[in-house]
């Protein structure tokens, strides 16, 4: 048993949660979110012992910043930067791919020139989801997310070339 005086440092997930709460309470602008999450990433990359741990930290931070960029209606220059970063790092799992793709399609009204790419990404993601077993609860959840993104997208799917 550990001595009571010795406190364990918070986990990565807990630190993200605490950071989010602090930023929300402070009503911080997007730039503060980005700066603070990049600082957190730097700290946790130094703590990472393996390449897979480093990759996990990078993916989570990039996904978090992308989600915040979506919420703050950032232009393509910023949103696209984090989307490309995630594509480069690779998606952790199908859930992350669904999340990112749905954000992309739902934000197309801010950068409609990306419509063809975003809708193609959504179609690819949907094909991947449909490969899951029919009785998988994740399959239904992901399909519902995709259906919602299609429904609320303000930029329609471009016609095929």
pLDDT digit string, tens, across residues 44-66: 999 999 999 999 999 999 999 99
- The verdict on residue 99 lying in a domain is yes
In a domain, 97, yes or no: yes
pLDDT tens readout for residues 2-34: 444 344 567 999 999 999 999 999 999 999 999
Residue 79 sits in the same domain as residue 25: yes
CA distance 159 to 35: 39
Q: Are residues 80 and 120 in the same domain?
A: no
- Give how far Cα 61 sits from Cα of 24, 32, 44, Å: 17, 14, 10
The count of domains in the chain is: 2
Residue 36 in any domain: the answer is: yes
Domain that holds residue 69: 12-90
Report pLDDT digits (tens) over 87-130: 999 999 999 999 999 999 999 999 999 999 999 999 999 999 99
- Number of neighbouring beta carbons within 10 Å of residue 74: 21
Closest CA to 59 of 90, 34, 36: 90
Let me know if residue 57 belongs to a domain. Answer: yes
Position 7 in a domain: no
Q: Residue 118: which of 109, 72, 73 has the closest Cα?
A: 109
Q: Is 89 exposed, middle or buried (0-12, 13-18, 19+ CB in 10 A)?
A: middle
Residue 1 pLDDT exceeds 90: no
Does residue 104 belong to any structural domain of this protein? Answer: yes
Q: Which of 70, 90, 110 is the last residue of a domain?
A: 90
Are both 81 and 18 inside the same structural domain?
yes
96 shares a domain with 58 = no
């Amino acid at each position: 048993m550990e001595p009571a005086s010795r406190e364990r440092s918070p986990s990565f997930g807990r630190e993200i949660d605490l950071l989010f709460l602090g930023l929300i309470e402070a009503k911080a602008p997007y730039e503060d979110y980005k700066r603070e999450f990049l600082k957190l990433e730097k700290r946790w990359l130094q703590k990472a012992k393996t390449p897979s741990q480093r990759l996990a930290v990078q993916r989570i931070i990039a996904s978090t910043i992308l989600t915040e960029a979506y919420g703050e209606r950032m232009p393509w220059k910023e949103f696209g930067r984090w989307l490309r970063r995630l594509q480069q790092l690779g998606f952790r799992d199908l859930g992350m791919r669904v999340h990112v793709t749905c954000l992309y399609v739902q934000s197309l009204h801010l950068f409609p020139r990306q419509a063809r790419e975003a809708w193609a990404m959504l179609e690819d993601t949907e094909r991947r989801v449909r490969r899951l077993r029919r009785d998988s609860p994740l399959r239904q959840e992901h399909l519902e997310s995709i259906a919602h993104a299609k429904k609320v997208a303000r930029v329609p799917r471009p016609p095929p070339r």
